[in-house]
Amino acid sequence: MSQQRDDGFQQPNDRDFLAIDDLTLRFEEARETLQALRCGEVDGVVVRNGPHDHVFTLKPVDDFYRVLILLIEEMNEAALILGRDRIIHYTNRCFAELVYKQPSDVIGTPLERFLSLADQSRIGEMFQQANEGPVRSELVLRSADGEESICLISIKRLTVSGMTENYVASLTDVTALRRTQAALQIAHDDLEKQVQQRTQALAETNAALKAEIMQRRQLEEILQKKAKELSRQNHQKDVFLATLAHELRNPLAAISNMLQIMSVTRFDPDAIKEAHSGAERQLAHLVRLVDDLLDISRITRGKVELKKSPVTLQAVIESAIETSRHYIEAAEHQLVQHVPTEPIHLDADLTRLAQALSNVLINAAKYTKPGGRIELEVRREVSEALLEIKDNGIGIAQDDLPYLFDMFSQSSDHDSLKYSNYHGLGIGLSLTKALVELHHGTIQAFSGGRDQGSTFTIRLPLRSEYQADQKEANNTATGCEPNRETTQLRILIADDNGDVLESLASLLRVAGYNVSTVKGGGAAVEEAFRFCPHIAILDIGMPDMDGYAVAERFRQMPELKEIPIIALTGWSQEQDRERSRVAGFDHHLVKPVQWPVLERLLETIINAP
């Protein structure tokens, strides 16, 4: 550079100064000289004028320029000066550090070399736009070791004379900012997701709470209804027990009276006959009560097996009317039938279906004032037989209709009971409904209310094609006579109840059988060896040795294993019958047995091959 002289001028250096000997330089030469000064190609101009040299320098500008360069070098933003071809002519320290290069290695290098592939394809367009005005964008720098930095870039075309083909660019490293923003965005998204999840969880919790509240309300309503129903059933139970006691005491009292009459009028045949007849009626009533209870028990446990066969509805009706005739005639009711003469064929258990229909007829007779009217109408529809039983009785309260077919259901109208002497246990209609449904039918009850009468409607499926059971008909038509004299038949009876034992023995002796009686199971085994019976009738519940054990002993003895054994017991459940069969019994009868039933069974055994 130049050296300072004593007169204040700097001593020119031949390498740095341009000497002008002639002040008459052409204008073009002067312009080039000034341009050289401005561009820093020379530090000053020496003008020789006689013995004195005049030195002109741009020192103040040079100092300002140096300060400016220092600021650019020290700032935290990258600065570049580039040509039109995006070759870097100048870089500050910051840019060199971003790309992990020395400034000297950066100068002369295209900017694209330091950009990501995506930004390399668009940097040219950005410089084109800079010709119209400043351009601001964001791009990714790639360092020498492949590390990427996100930068904001600002490109502007220089307007300084002589440098209009150059561009200045500044880059701000926003990598940390973008990462922070990305982390914040992730945190925001995560928080938003958590808020959504929490909101959804709260919504689900609220929905669950609402559902639980609704469920609890419904459960509360169900419990209230259940409590009401249990209260009603408990009341029905109390009524049933009271009614059962009443229904048992009445016939027992009548039988007791009849026995006393027979005792005090031993020599009055007519009185004895009448008392005997009354006792039989009351006994039949007791048997019916017990049978109904047992039937309900069997049905509720699914132990009832229908013995279906081709029958006519007319036969069912005839049997039902015969069963209920006593109740209808006792109340002096008029029974009107509208039954077609053409047979209506069913596939049914005649006994059980007649039992169901007779229950409805008896119910109509019970709850109709004396001298009432009962109508039985039968119609054949497409695939069903329709039976309607109407009466002009006291009717059914609307509150009672929903529970009419429930077990032990009784009318809530206490006045209704005064019209009937046969209150019943409240199981007749329940049994009827069960029997009808076992036949795949339906039963409904209708009433307009008190004193409006009642109508019961029964629907039963028709038999598609009637086929007479010829074998059953032949068996029914064929009479059976014993092939042996009954006086030759020996019957052994074992029962720990003396009255039952002696009364049954008396009946058999009157019928001509040779009878031997014992009061225990052990005695039965001993007597069997001595008496050699043709038939044994054994009670089950004997104290020393029950009937099962006696039957098993008989089957183990060669002398007794072939004799028919009849169980005569109060145990009537299906499992009781099965147990007696396994023990060796051939037949199972339930006390009290009707004499015709026992008589037919004995005849069947006698006539067996």
Q: How far apart are CA 422 and CA 366, in angstroms?
A: 7
- Residue 423 identity (one-letter amino acid): H
Burial of 146 (0-12, 13-18, 19+ CB in 10 A): exposed
Q: Is the pLDDT of residue 599 over 80?
A: yes
Contacts (Cβ under 8 Å, ≥6 apart) of 162: 35, 38, 39
Q: Where are the domains of the chain?
A: 3-61, 75-173, 179-296, 306-470, 481-607
Please provide the CATH number assigned to the domain covering 481-607: 3.40.50.2300
3-state secondary structure of 103: helix
- Cβ atoms < 10 Å from Cβ of 99: 22
Give pLDDT tens digits for 408-447.
Answer: 666 555 444 444 444 555 677 888 888 898 899 999 999 8
Tell me the fold of 75-173: Beta-Lactamase (3.30.450)
**For range 536-559, the mean pLDDT:** 89
Burial of 357 (0-12, 13-18, 19+ CB in 10 A): buried
The pLDDT value given to residue 26 = 44
Q: Is the pLDDT of residue 468 over 50?
A: no
Contacts (Cβ under 8 Å, ≥6 apart) of 151: 78, 98, 138, 139, 140, 141, 171, 172, 173, 174, 175
Going by C-alpha positions, the residue among 574, 58, 522, 580 that lies closest to residue 301 is 574
Tokens of 283: 């006994």
Task: Give the lowest-confidence range in 204-208, 231-235, 277-281, 483-487.
Answer: 483-487
- When computed from its CA atoms, the radius of gyration of the chain, rounded to whole angstroms, is 61
Q: Provide the whole-model pTM.
A: 0.40
**For range 277-295, the mean pLDDT:** 72
The pLDDT value given to residue 283 = 78
Q: How far apart are CA 607 and CA 188, in angstroms?
A: 101
Q: How far apart are CA 531 and CA 493, in angstroms?
A: 11
3-state secondary structure of 535: strand
**Domain spanning 306-470: which CATH class is it, in words?**
alpha beta
Band of pLDDT at residue 487, cut at 50, 70 and 90: very low
Q: Is the pLDDT of residue 41 over 70?
A: no
Give pLDDT tens digits for 296-340.
Answer: 666 666 666 778 889 999 999 998 898 889 889 989 999 999 999
The pLDDT value given to residue 552 = 92
Q: Give pairs for 57-62: CB < 8 Å, separation 24+.
A: 57/2, 57/10, 59/10
Give pLDDT tens digits for 522-536.
Answer: 889 889 988 899 999
Tokens of 242: 């009271």
Mean residue pLDDT across the chain: 79
The pLDDT value given to residue 336 = 94
Using the structure block, give the residue that is written with the tokens 């519940």.
541
The pLDDT value given to residue 227 = 85
